[in-house]
A and B are shown apart, each in its own frame.
Chain A
Amino acid sequence: EAGVTQSPRYAVLQEGQAVSFWCDPISGHDTLYWYQQPRDQGPQLLVYFRDEAVIDNSQLPSDRFSAVRPKGTNSTLKIQSAKQGDTATYLCASSFHGFEQYFGPGTRLTVL
């Protein structure tokens, strides 16, 4: 069974540029999560979905970040105007009914 896939694996931007991250969860998993993991810190939840619905996006900086999961399968996280403070690894994970999460390899973002 294929695991959670993410692309791109790496991204380097100048401040003010936009970037999109893509996630393909494990087939059949209804719950999808996006996390931000700064260097040497734990994952911080940005947003999570059950099927196509956003369950919680309270930690998503709404002025610059957006996330969608239109058909309840793949998901895209977008940063509209990146800042240096956005430098981190962005992790996508999926689970069935909110239990054991399977994580993708992450996208390492550097904003110069």
Chain B
Amino acid sequence: GEKVEQHESTLSVREGDSAVINCTYTDTASSYFPWYKQEAGKSLHFVIDIRSNVDRKQSQRLIVLLDKKAKRFSLHITATQPEDSAIYFCATSGGNYKPTFGKGTSLVVHP
């Protein structure tokens, strides 16, 4: 089955800097790549996604890049703010849209 590896388990940045979280996947049939954020003590909520027909998507300070050849996708958070501190999960969906999640990256933004 699909495996999703999230490379950074923790990430610490200074407020205003950029943060980058990288994920790789194994299933070439994966076609949908969402990202979710989980703040302390709360459930997950969707932040941004990318589909396999494009290689870049931006929503305000969030940029997602997809490299299908390398089976790699990444989340870039620009101009980080303390409220960006959370755990971020990458995920994939392939055949029948079965989702597989990474293990999460704990992002800390220091003032």
Contact = CB atoms under 8 A, between A and B. Distances in A.
Given A42-B103, A100-B49, A91 B96 contact: no
B58 to A, nearest CB: 17
B60 interface: no
B72 to A, nearest CB: 18
Interface string B9-50: 000000000000000000000001010100000111110010
B101 interface: yes
A21 interface: no
Interface in A41-78: 41-45, 48, 55-56
Contacts of A25: none
A44 B101 contact: yes
B89 A91 contact: no
B100 interface: yes
A8 to B, nearest CB: 15
Contact of A103 (B44, B100, B104): B44
Contacts, number: 56
Nearest to B49: A100
Contacts of A105: 42-43
A45 B100 contact: yes
Nearest to B103: A42
A102 B44 CA distance: 8
A95 B70 CA distance: 28
B34 A55 contact: no
B43 A101 contact: no
A93 B91 CA distance: 14
Which are the 6 A-B pairs with shortest beta-carbon distances? Answer: A98-B97, A42-B101, A103-B43, A103-B44, A42-B103, A100-B46
Interface of B: 6, 32, 34, 36, 42-46, 49, 89, 93, 96-104
